[in-house]
Structure 1
Amino acid sequence: MKHEPSKREIAFTKFFLHTPAKTIYRSFADSISLQGHEKVLDFGSGYGTVAKWVAPKLTSGQLTCADISSIWQAECRNHLAKYKNITYFNDDIYHLDPSEQFDIIYAHFVLHDLPYPELKKVIPHLIKLLKIGGKLYIREPVSDRNKFHTICKLLLQQKLQVLQTNQHLIPLMGTSFDIHYQKRALNHFNAPHTPPKSGQTGPG
């Protein structure tokens, strides 16, 4: 589902990055475990609010900023022009070559905006793009509890191992959860996982 941002939305995002609230994006980027050589996918990169903090850490790695919005993709290119380790993918994520295997995929406040039928397709596809042993990092609000639990349920069906969950109170978004997953081989035992409840945090 393609969504193009309004001028107001773009202006607000740019303004947000010049306030103390920018730590929302930086804290999420800092939670991603990086050695510097990884191949990373930013799904729904928007203006590059998280990519801004991830790209400098990939000293010998590569970051792909993927967004179906042509407007956001153009804004992101301009915003992050100084980083030469970023490639841009402006198309439906299903058109990304499945041979592209990423060490890390992250999505920051993206999945909850997708309609239910789209979630059922996009989550398995993202996991196909993730290497065995690769990690998925998401941050999602719980304002729509049904949508949040659907996201967690669909991820559970992908046989991912939950590494960590953390709860945050995010300005304008309310209570949100960071959940870190790892893709394991199919024969690897995966402990049952239920969606975190408001007030629950994981290790760390």
Structure 2
Amino acid sequence: MVTLGKDSGQTAPAPAPAPRERYGETLFVRDTPERRRLRLLAEVFDPLSVRTLEHVGVHPGTRCLEIGAGSGSLARWLCGRAAPAAVVATDLDISLLDTVREENLLPMVHDVTRDDFPAESFDLVHARFVLNHLPERDRVLERIVRWLRPGGVLVVESFSWFPLDSSPDARYRKAMLRWGDLVRDTIGTDSRWARNYPSALARHGLRDLGATTVAEHLRGGTALADFWQLTVDMSRHQLIDKGYLTPQEYEDFTALMRDPDFWDLAPALTQAWGRK
């Protein structure tokens, strides 16, 4: 890690090392805390995702692909809007989709970096918090575009890390940036790539582009703070054992996430869409 000053908590631009593992091996494992984290993710971010999906349009008969379906909350919403058409919901682990009882849901174990679909299979493809975790994200994006029929829409969503850089609270700033360094070094996550989503979609031939970025205020003790506390907590041992944070720095961050007097900006959510 290369830092800007002893206590700044900011990371200087540097080439990321080759990732040592893939998503889900030791980070983002589907254990009990991860299930709770995914429920919080749905509670906090589904309203923003639904607003964007409503904007691009999901109608009866829309053939949908939900990549990285997680807990299935958005797949359930798509099923209600797209019926009678099927909604294909994919993930590396689809165990959480067992609770989604929609008749038009087709859950599928699928690795978006390796497994294919026939060309022009879908009217709508949605991927939330997927591409930023994949070192081969640009190649995967090219493959996803092939799965869209002409006139079909791709909607992608990922975090943008820039609100953290200007945080006035060194404890919060350092813990979040160090966690970002850990997931970058471990699985190749790029938490700064999403701000260029529209350019990436244009490179792959999509048109009628649109994008929005939402930076919400995080207050300690709220669902948003709980989500980020759990997100960082799942990597607690790696953060401390590998020297990204000291035990005290980690405890300071945890205390902030529980303190209702703490306010700051959370990582922003960048959403972009385009039509084939």
What letter matches 2:115 in structure 1? H
Q: Is the 8 A contact 2:120 2:150 kept in 1?
A: no
Question: Secondary structure of 1:96's partner?
Answer: coil
1:78-97 to 2 correspondences below 5 Å: 78-80=98-100, 82-93=101-112, 94-97=114-117
Q: Is the 8 A contact 1:34 1:58 kept in 2?
A: yes
Q: Which runs of 5+ in 2 are unaligned?
A: 1-21, 162-189, 217-223, 229-265
* TM norm structure 1: 0.74
Match of 2:121 in 1: 101
Tell me if the contact between 2:156 and 2:273 (Cα under 8 Å) persists in the aligned partners. yes
SS at match of 2:124: strand
Structure 1: state its 5+ residue gaps.
184-204
* Cα deviation code 1:78-99 (max 9, x no counterpart): 221x201011220223323324
Equivalent positions of 1:53-132 (< 5 A) are 53-67=77-91, 69-70=92-93, 73-76=94-97, 78-80=98-100, 82-93=101-112, 94-99=114-119, 101-115=121-135, 118-132=136-150
CA separation of 1:21/1:102 partners in 2, compared to 1, >3 Å: closer, same or farther? closer
Alpha-carbon offset, residue 51 of structure 1: 1.2
CA 1:35–1:154 in 2, change beyond 3 Å: closer, same or farther? same
Deviation at 1:166, TM superposition (A): 1.7
CA deviations 1:109-131 (Å, max 9, x no partner) are 2211222xx21321111011111
- How many residues were matched structurally? 175
- Classify the secondary structure of the residue corresponding to 1:50: helix
2-side partners of 1:132 and 1:55: how far apart? 22
2:51 match: 27
Match for 2:272 among 179, 197, 200?
A: 179
Is the 2:66–2:89 contact (alpha carbons within 8 Å) kept by the matching residues of 1?
A: yes
Q: CA RMSD in A?
A: 2.5
Partner SS for 2:138: helix
Q: 1:152 to 1:114 in 2, by over 3 A?
A: farther
2:65 counterpart SS class: strand
Match of 2:33 in 1: 8
Identity %: 18
Letter in 1 for 2:95: A
- Structure with the bigger RCO (C-alpha within 8 Å, sep 6+) is 2
Separation in 1, partners of 2:152, 2:89: 17
- Compute the TM-score of the two structures, normalised by the length of structure 2: 0.56
Q: Which has the higher helix share?
A: 2
- Equivalent residue letter for 2:204: Q
